[in-house]
Structure 1
Amino acid sequence: MTLQSFLKTLKTTKRTYPSSIYNLLICSSSTTQSLGSPEKPVSDLSLSTLRRIVSDPDIKSRKCVSFFRFILENPSLFSFRPDLGTHLSLSLRVLSERKFSVARELLRPVVVRYPFRDIASGVLDERGGCFEAKVVARFFNSMIMVYSDSGRYDEAVEVFECMKNNEIKIDEKTLTLHLLNLRRSGETELANGFFRLMVASKLDVVTVYSLTVVVSALCCDGEIKRARELVEEVETKPNIVTFKSMIDCCVKRWNFEELELVLELMEKESVVLDLDTYKILIDGFTSYGKIEEAEKLVSAMHDKQLKVETYLYNLIINGYSRFGLVEKAFEIHSEMSSRGVVSDKDTYWGLMNGLCKAGKACEALRLLDELRVNEFEVDEAMYTTLIEGCYGAGMIDNAMEVVAEMVREGYIPDGTVFERLADALFEVNREEAGMMITFVVKSGIKPSSCNDVIKGEENLSTDLLPTG
């Protein structure tokens, strides 16, 4: 706003108030502070005049707020300090215009200086005055948030009780935001206690959102049973987000007994699994080793025409491979192909790992060729798996060939790999053992069990290392 526009809005003020106060209003404006503030105390301004100014409809509320702040920030210029009544009057006026953030900023110093009972008395007296009941309700709801944001949770409860006892309309969104503050602060018990106050009040303030916040807080503390019992206890119908918190907590803690109860409750409430919840369950089942249960969930996803991503199949393939059930892993691979789900590098790694664990290194090497045909990158983990698989199957020459390819691709195997291969070569008095040790030394790797050989092999060339 330009200075001219500001002066225009104050034309009535100029006629009504002394010139010194009119000039002070201009000085306190954000558009004119650069002109400097008065150097001498302003004797014309009194507390009663200030009260009249902040309630004057001819002065816009934002100018009143700016003027009020100016007085608070320059106490040496005035012979008084704004009292509680003036604070409240201005706050209520701002709230009548739905300027909630400005009102909360005005209220923060108030809650520090005055006990809530004094604040409440001052505002409740206004209910029969010029402010409507809905404005008074906005004030008390704002007070809950001011106390909540300041970490003064006992006072927030006091405001809630005051509103309930005086039949002031409580905004359920405000209560949910307060519960979120409690959860973020780790005050789970306070959140649970406040929510139960909401339920006990018999007011229409409990929503699925507030229920979900408390359930989530309890689950974060591992209190899955209490979270489930809370859902069973209240009349508010939970949604999938409410159950997702409990399901996620169950699978992460491998608490499948409680998970079964949660899923039964979910069915009772007629809440169906969504895509994200299926993913959570499949991840949890496969990490624990319940691979068949995960496989059934994937089938259910297909039945419901939900998109099944490649990584979900990879979890199942890795699960079967981990237990040496490589045939099942390949069955899953065939199924995913038939359903049009494209394999990726991790799919092949899972199959390769399963073959190596099952002692089928030859098949794993053929799978490596398939990887190359499909132009997937062979990474360090795959090379290491193949080397260990070949070593375990007694295929030392093949293991050496994989090592050579691995080195050519810029990967240096772990010292343990060299150590195992060197030990195997020593057993058959292979000349390659010495070359292996030389390569290890020149690579800066020192396997512990090969120290006796290192001294005698320092000058051998590594050029004879098999190149595949």
Structure 2
Amino acid sequence: MKAHKLMAPQILKQQKLKQQSLPSAFFSSTSQPITNDQSQSPSSEITPELLVEAARSSQWHFIKHHSPNLDPSIISTVLFNLHKTPQLALQFTSHVEFHRLDLKIRYLAIAVVSRLPSPNPTLRLLKQTISSDIAGVSAIFNDLALARERLGISTTILFDLLIKACCEMKRVDEGLECFYMMKEKGLIPKIETCNVILSTLLKLNKTESAWVFYAEMFKMRIKSSIYTFNIMINVLCKEGKLKKAKDFVGFMENLGVNPNVVTYNTIIHAYCSRGRVDGACLVLNAMRSKGIQPDSYTYGSLISGMCRDKRLKEASDTFGKMKEMGLIPSAVTYNIVIDGYCNGGDLEKAFGYRDEMVALGILPTVTTYNMLIHALFMECRMGEADDLVREMGEKGLVPDQITYSILINGYSRCGNLKKAFGFHDEMLAKGIQPTRMTYTSLIYVLGKRNRMTEADNLFEKILKKGVAIDVIMFNALIDGHCSNGNMERAFSLFKEMDKLNVPPDDVTYNTLMQGRCREGRVEEARELLDEMKRRGIKPDHVSYNTLISGYSRRGDMKDALRVRDEMMSTGFNPTLLTYNALIQGFCKNQEGDIAEDLLREMISKGITPDDTTYLSLIEGMGNIDQSLQNSNSC
């Protein structure tokens, strides 16, 4: 406070400048003025010249101290006098607290700050104004236009930045509104501004709107840049129009704009993401014929597509070519290859690439470890998975939501309830929220351990947390109840799915059918099959085999064969499970000849019998022998 009292007289002595006048509109704002803090000392002696001098000598404490009592007209005058030094105007605005200023002064401040070389301060102030919703974007536009005229700003920078602010806030419709307001004033936005609009429309999947806007640009003779064409090619790729995307390259060339590596990378990525790797390779050849060399992103897309298509040898060869060209793979590229070999079950290769990236000084990421840990769990190599988790900690990598989900899912599938819930508690303690997959895994393992009360309690907690329940979680809980003979609870969950708008799938029906068949209520299982057909859910092998097994266990072989024929009529061939169920049923009915005929039939179709097949036949023959002995003794 003492510093303020000492400084004010010094500044006052320097006031020999005439007060510079401002247009009257800045003194007659219709908005609310700054609220005066009655506890502060009167500031009638504070003049615009004093504040300008304070700003120029960096006396910000003095300005901040008196800011609550400053009249809007004084602030307007100061901002106007500082318009040639926008950095000082920005600092002054922050010290008089921008959010407390009335609207007219805010727009003046934004207009002055827009003179800065960096657009970021202006964007920040614009976003703050837009998000406050104290005025619509059209009103903001009009008032900025007024401020622009008064300051003599001839460029369109204020409107360009307003559009950009709207787009960055994902309020692209308001950005388009500003664009058309500019058009009405006869102002042409910068091509960079148009690109921001197109890019935002693309990100929001508003591809149709992107084409409408692009056509408007064309009408207004706004010349497209290479970045514009790349966006529109991306739009075509997102729409799945890959041929048109390739043709668009010719269109841009005819307009005198040569494609670059980004142009071709966009198309190659689109082909690869749709499983059309061969098409991507043709685009790569066209790219090279134009003298454009592929980069790391090009190869990354190709390698990813090949791995997804299980073409691991080609992916590995392409990866090798990339390194031969002197392109240094990133951790992302290595992760793509590692993921490919993990999914292909070749962990030796996957770990080999992990070791290679370490040797090159490329640190494995959390994603790298997640993929390797998941692959180890898939092969039930629990000890090695635990070692990798420890290794992550030693390297300072923090397990994320996906890591914990993999660990919980892995231990759940292996039936280790203690470890699964241990990791669940650990992630909660670290403030990491479990995913839907995490909860599903825990429900699954509880079901396998016959702890359905705990599974139901966990399900209720999940509902209360507001987690969106999906069909997979419902299926896990229904399966647990069906396996434990709680069919009433299973069907109550089935009804709850409708209440929560979660459509059942073939797994849901198959699980319920299996539960009914275990009870011997095969007719009700049959009704479920008919119901799933009515709902447009296509039965699969499991659906038909469940019914065949149900009828066979009961000895109703005519019904079992009828379902077998129905299965074949829908395009499904009998499987090992089909034959085993039928053989078991005929053997139980002491019809060994038919069972042997079925054995020969399955072998002729290339289906190899297993232990269950032969055990059924042996038991069947034993039943026949016993029956003959009983009849002879009579």
User: TM-score, normalised to structure 1's length?
Assistant: 0.54
Counterparts in 2 of 1:44-193, with a 5 A limit?
A: 87=10, 90-92=13-15, 95=17, 119=45, 138=49, 142=53, 149-150=60-61, 152-153=63-64, 155-156=66-67, 158=69, 160=71, 170=77, 173-174=80-81, 180-181=90-91, 183-184=93-94, 187-192=97-102
Higher RCO (CA < 8 A, seq sep 6+) = 1
String of CA shifts for 1:368-397, please: whole Å, max 9, x gaps. Answer: 223333343323322221122223345444
Aligned equivalents of 1:434 and 1:143: distance in 2? 69
String of CA shifts for 1:22-42, please: whole Å, max 9, x gaps. Answer: xxxxxxxxxxxxxxxxxxxxx
C-alpha change, 1:119 and 1:146, in structure 2 (3 Å) is: farther
SS at match of 1:319: helix
Residue in 1 that maps onto 2:353: 440
- Counterpart amino acid of 1:440? Y
Question: CA offset at residue 319 of structure 1?
Answer: 3.4
Aligned equivalents of 1:92 and 1:416: distance in 2? 68
Q: Are 1:219 and 2:127 matched, yes or no?
A: yes
Aligned equivalents of 2:171 and 2:104: distance in 1? 28
Question: CA offset at residue 346 of structure 1?
Answer: 0.9
Counterparts in 2 of 1:384-403, with a 5 A limit?
A: 384-403=300-319
C-alpha change, 1:192 and 1:399, in structure 2 (3 Å) is: same
Q: Are 1:362 and 2:278 matched, yes or no?
A: yes
SS at match of 2:170: coil
Structure 1: 5+ residue stretches without partners: 1-81, 99-114, 121-135, 200-205, 427-432, 455-468
Residue in 1 that maps onto 2:111: 209
- Counterpart amino acid of 2:134? R
Alpha carbons 1:148, 1:181 under 8 Å: kept: no
C-alpha change, 1:369 and 1:170, in structure 2 (3 Å) is: closer
C-alpha change, 1:180 and 1:190, in structure 2 (3 Å) is: farther
SS at match of 2:102: helix
Aligned match for 1:377, one of 293, 305, 313: 293
Aligned match for 1:248, one of 137, 156, 164: 164
Aligned equivalents of 1:408 and 1:453: distance in 2? 37
Question: CA offset at residue 409 of structure 1?
Answer: 3.6
SS at match of 2:146: coil
Counterparts in 2 of 1:450-461, with a 5 A limit?
A: none
Residue in 2 that maps onto 1:277: 193
Question: CA offset at residue 405 of structure 1?
Answer: 1.8
String of CA shifts for 1:187-231, please: whole Å, max 9, x gaps. Answer: 3322336728xx9xxxxxx69935979996242455274352344
Question: CA offset at residue 345 of structure 1?
Answer: 0.8
Question: CA offset at residue 340 of structure 1?
Answer: 1.3
- Counterpart amino acid of 1:401? D
Aligned equivalents of 2:185 and 2:175: distance in 1? 15
- Counterpart amino acid of 2:14? S
Alpha carbons 1:318, 1:351 under 8 Å: kept: yes
Q: Are 1:337 and 2:246 matched, yes or no?
A: no
Residue in 1 that maps onto 2:337: 417
Residue in 1 that maps onto 2:236: 320
- Counterpart amino acid of 1:246? L
Q: CA RMSD in A?
A: 4.7
Residue in 1 that maps onto 2:321: 405
- Counterpart amino acid of 2:340? R
Residue in 2 that maps onto 1:20: none
C-alpha change, 1:348 and 1:140, in structure 2 (3 Å) is: closer
Question: CA offset at residue 138 of structure 1?
Answer: 4.7
Question: CA offset at residue 351 of structure 1?
Answer: 0.8
Alpha carbons 1:329, 1:351 under 8 Å: kept: yes
Structure 2: 5+ residue stretches without partners: 21-40, 115-120, 149-154, 359-367, 382-634
C-alpha change, 1:327 and 1:244, in structure 2 (3 Å) is: same
Aligned equivalents of 2:110 and 2:323: distance in 1? 58
Aligned equivalents of 1:372 and 1:234: distance in 2? 49
Aligned match for 1:348, one of 264, 271, 275: 264
Aligned match for 2:225, one of 293, 309, 312: 309
Question: CA offset at residue 233 of structure 1?
Answer: 6.4
Q: Identity over the aligned pairs, expressed in percent?
A: 14
Question: CA offset at residue 348 of structure 1?
Answer: 0.9
Question: CA offset at residue 91 of structure 1?
Answer: 1.8
What is the number of residues matched between the two proteins? Answer: 322
Aligned equivalents of 1:234 and 1:308: distance in 2? 27
SS at match of 2:292: coil
SS at match of 2:14: helix
Question: CA offset at residue 245 of structure 1?
Answer: 3.1
Alpha carbons 2:341, 2:347 under 8 Å: kept: no
- Counterpart amino acid of 1:189? H
SS at match of 2:259: coil
Alpha carbons 1:285, 1:291 under 8 Å: kept: yes
C-alpha change, 1:402 and 1:453, in structure 2 (3 Å) is: farther
Alpha carbons 1:380, 1:406 under 8 Å: kept: yes
String of CA shifts for 1:128-157, please: whole Å, max 9, x gaps. Answer: xxxxxxxx9855754687798336346357
Alpha carbons 1:317, 1:329 under 8 Å: kept: yes
Alpha carbons 1:291, 1:319 under 8 Å: kept: yes
Once the two structures are overlaid, the 10-residue window that deviates more, 321-330 or 382-391, is 321-330
Aligned equivalents of 2:286 and 2:207: distance in 1? 26
Question: CA offset at residue 349 of structure 1?
Answer: 0.5
C-alpha change, 1:400 and 1:174, in structure 2 (3 Å) is: same
Residue in 2 that maps onto 1:55: none
C-alpha change, 1:87 and 1:298, in structure 2 (3 Å) is: same
C-alpha change, 1:234 and 1:339, in structure 2 (3 Å) is: closer
